[in-house]
Amino acid sequence: MSDIALLPEVRSFIQRQHGHYINGQAVLGNGANSFSVINPATEHVIATVNGATLDQVDAAMQAASAAFQGVWAQTTPMERGQCLNRLADLLEKHNEELAQLETLCSGKTIQLARALEIGSSAQFLRYFAGWATKISGETLNVSLPSFHGEQYSAFTRREPLGVVAGIIPWNFSIMISIWKLAAALTCGCTIVLKPSEFTPLTMLRVAELAKEAGIPDGVINIINGDGRELGSALISHSLCAKVTFTGSVPTGLAVGKAAMDGKLTHVTLELGGKNAAVFLADLSVDKMVEGIIEAGYLNQGQICAAAERFYIPAKLISPVLDALKQRLAGFKIGSPLDESTDMGPLANKAHYDKILKLFAQARSDGSEIIYGAEPLAGAGYFVLPTIIRAHSSKDRLMQEETFGPVGTFLAYDDENELISMINNTPFGLAASVWTNDLGKAMRMIPHIKAGTVWVNMHTFLDPAVPFGGTKSSGIGREFGSAFIEYYTELKSIMIRY
């Protein structure tokens, strides 16, 4: 197979000069702090983006605030839902264009871009659209005494927080933006999104489609540029009512502190971790290998919920690792625009360098490398999918997030030790248990400290099911009905009559 042909609209889009999207208009900026977007599969510059000035950050926040108090406040919940549904229609209509753009910027395989970045984003939009008409308060019973026949009534209202700042990582730049945008807009908030410097293009195109979908100017704004400078400016802006962040643990901690500092801005943090997948001895080697690939190697492991620590029964670990090695060695690694590719490049040079450093450390630490831990020769940020066999839970690669296609495997003898092994980490985003014995899995679930526990599956998210981390993996939940609490303020009203 070979690369698919790029659509003419993709070619013309990347040739444009890019900047931001503020109040329904593309805004270019002055070019003083422009930066390049690099295709990680070829290392070629594919576009140039003008980074935002602080004045442009302010203009985006002002536009979002004006829309929040004006045009968006005047829409009915039904109309807000209809806007999101129309945007979902347009994402589906432009699936190929957006998927190609995203693959060029992020190195994600085209199949994954079509299915997850666009297909799944449309589904999330439709799910949130359904909530728009169902966000409401409660009527409450009051027990205050009545001395002169007076009576009481009380109720609550769910009121939108205001302008939301959404800070987005590079691994799923459309899907994660859509999660945040859809939750905010459904609740009546407006949003300023800051995509990652590595993947700044696609949301500019989605913002144009949002306008076509009838979402009023100022409701969605996009700011591109340096994370530290613009992120701080967004968080500390007087009009910022809420920050929603997905990204690394250190940056998330900085974002959380900045949000708390001064004005107690609401904050949701969805960070990474070191997720565990445990396989019980009743499963066949083949089933384990399928599960490991699903849990650890999708999108080159660049998924915050992916598993990186694998626990395998001692008597099965050698055949499992042998079979896994054979499967990974058969992976087709190459151009993400080739529909037959299993694994594309890592998403950017900084991340590639980090993974190569971890490989070097694994060697110097004396880790047992079963497969991989090597870059591929030639252009592009390609590495081999990697299998490391750990000596103990204390090994560096059993503790530190790699965010790459790097599975670290530890043998266990006693199933009773599994819970303490899974929980032996400061993080708690997700975990999975793989077994035919549902009773055993059900007994383990309450003891696992993680925001999501999967049984016989891993990584897959559904808009109906809340998602978020415990411990150092974050605070707050996205999706389900849980998101409502994080985008609205609860107001209590008491009436004496």
Q: Residues 24, 81, 166, 169: which binds ligand TXE (CB under 6 A)? A: 169
Question: Of 349-388, which residues contact ligand TXE (CB under 6 A)?
Answer: 351, 354
Least separation in angstroms between residue 139's CB and ligand TXE is: 40
> How many CB atoms neighbour CB 148 within 10 A?
4
Residue 150 or 353: which CB sits closer to ligand TXE? 353
Contact between 197 and ligand TXE per CB under 6 A: yes
Residue 234 or 441: which CB sits closer to ligand TXE? 234
One DSSP character per residue, 160-181 reads E--EEEEE--STTHHHHHHHHH
Least separation in angstroms between residue 482's CB and ligand TXE is: 19
Least separation in angstroms between residue 295's CB and ligand TXE is: 15
Verify whether residue 270 is a known catalytic residue.
yes
Residue 106 or 435: which CB sits closer to ligand TXE? 106
Residue 355 or 422: which CB sits closer to ligand TXE? 355
Binding mask 265-304 for ligand TXE (x = CB under 6 A): ------xx-------------------------------x
Least separation in angstroms between residue 483's CB and ligand TXE is: 18
Contact 387, 409 (CB under 8 A): yes
Residue 35 or 331: which CB sits closer to ligand TXE? 35
Of 133, 202, 213, whose CA–CA distance to 170 is shortest?
202
| Size of interface with ligand TXE, in residues (CB under 6 A) | 25
Least separation in angstroms between residue 254's CB and ligand TXE is: 5
Binding mask 221-250 for ligand TXE (x = CB under 6 A): ------xx--xx-------------xxx--
> How many CB atoms neighbour CB 323 within 10 A?
16
C-alpha 359/C-alpha 212 separation (Å) is 47
Residue 135 or 165: which CB sits closer to ligand TXE? 165
Per CB under 6 A, which region of 109-117, 161-169, 313-321, 379-387 contacts ligand TXE? 161-169
Contact between 33 and ligand TXE per CB under 6 A: no
CA distances from 438 to 280, 314, 315, 434, 452 (A): 11, 21, 22, 9, 17
Q: Is 49 left (phi over 0), alpha (psi -120 to 50) or beta?
A: beta
Contact between 170 and ligand TXE per CB under 6 A: yes
C-alpha 66/C-alpha 61 separation (Å) is 9
> How many CB atoms neighbour CB 93 within 10 A?
13
CA distances from 246 to 172, 233, 266, 421, 430 (A): 10, 17, 15, 26, 15
One DSSP character per residue, 359-418 reads HHHHHHTT-EEEE---BPSSSS--B--EEEE-SSTTSGGGTS---SSEEEEEEES-GGGH
Least separation in angstroms between residue 283's CB and ligand TXE is: 28
Q: Residues 254, 317, 358, 387: which binds ligand TXE (CB under 6 A)? A: 254
Binding mask 72-111 for ligand TXE (x = CB under 6 A): ----------------------------------------
Contact 465, 451 (CB under 8 A): no
Which element (helix H / strand E) includes 351?
A: helix 349-364
Q: Is 297 left (phi over 0), alpha (psi -120 to 50) or beta?
A: alpha
Residue 50 or 435: which CB sits closer to ligand TXE? 50
Least separation in angstroms between residue 170's CB and ligand TXE is: 5
- Burial state string for 26-65 with b = 16 or more CB within 10 A and e = fewer than 16: ebebeeeebbebbbbbbeeeebebbbbbeebbbbbbbbbb
Q: Which among 270, 294, 401, 478 is annotated as catalytic? A: 270
The residues that touch ligand TXE, with contacts defined as CB under 6 A, are 167-171, 194, 196-197, 227-228, 231-232, 246-248, 251, 254-255, 271-272, 304, 351, 354, 401, 403
- Residues with catalytic function: 270
